């Protein structure tokens, strides 16, 4: 609980936490390793927030700062394709095996970024998260762009379920053929 409270700024980050005592010996081989993890965990400044409130988007009676999507890698890949479609940029995750809720919440709010995380042991043991899920989180203001992008890639045949067309050889997209020709490949069809 402390990692969560300290990470979202509800309580002060103690020196004991920063020294690695909440990690060692159960979750780190040395106090130094525990300290390294603690010092690098994303966090809000103390007092910035007094609580965390969550609800399904369909029933929330407040305006959320971020939204989360739990899904299989194929579904999260769709979100990554949309991000590329929107601005040409990738989503660069910071993945930890601990305190995943902090990684879901802090970077998207603090940095105003799209974020991908893996569920931690708490998600798997206490929140009944499927062991094959990933988590996407982002500021609420990008939800409209995400939904528009998902519709667009679906219309272009890039959505789910994938249109599988295995073949020994298949026609390449025009843009691939043009790149091949530009580097001297004359065999490209």
How does pLDDT run across 86-128, given as a tens digit for each residue? 999 999 988 888 899 899 999 999 999 999 999 988 888 888 8
The pLDDT score that the predictor gives to residue 2 is 44
The answer as to whether 181 is a domain residue is no
d(CA 172, CA 117): 33
d(CA 113, CA 150): 18
**pLDDT exceeds 80 at position 5:** no
The pLDDT score that the predictor gives to residue 1 is 44
The answer as to whether 41 is a domain residue is yes
Peptide linkage before 25 cis (omega within 30 of 0):
yes
- Is 152 found in the same domain as 107? yes
- Is 69 found in the same domain as 45? no
The answer as to whether 168 is a domain residue is no
The answer as to whether 23 is a domain residue is yes
- For residue 106, the enclosing domain spans 64-161
Q: What is the mean pLDDT of the chain?
A: 89
3-state secondary structure of 62: coil
- Is 87 found in the same domain as 34? no
- Is 86 found in the same domain as 19? no
The pLDDT score that the predictor gives to residue 189 is 55
pTM higher than 0.85 for the full model? no
């Amino acid at each position: 609980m402390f990692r969560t409270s300290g990470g979202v700024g509800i309580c002060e980050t103690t020196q004991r936490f920063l020294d690695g005592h909440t990690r060692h010996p159960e979750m780190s081989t040395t106090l130094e390793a525990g300290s390294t993890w603690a010092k690098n965990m994303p966090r809000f400044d103390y007092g910035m927030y007094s609580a965390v409130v969550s609800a399904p988007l369909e029933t929330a009676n407040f305006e959320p700062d971020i939204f989360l999507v739990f899904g299989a890698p194929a579904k999260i890949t769709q979100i990554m394709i949309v991000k590329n479609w929107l601005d040409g940029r990738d989503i660069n995750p910071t993945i930890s095996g601990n305190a995943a809720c902090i990684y879901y919440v802090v970077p998207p709010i603090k940095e105003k970024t799209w974020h991908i995380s893996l569920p931690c042991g708490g998600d798997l043991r206490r929140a009944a998260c499927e062991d094959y899920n990933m988590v996407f989180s982002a500021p609420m203001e990008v939800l409209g762009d995400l939904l528009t992008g998902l519709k667009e890639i679906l219309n272009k045949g890039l959505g789910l379920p994938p249109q599988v067309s295995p073949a020994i050889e298949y026609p390449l997209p025009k843009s691939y053929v043009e790149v091949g020709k530009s580097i001297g490949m004359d065999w490209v069809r």
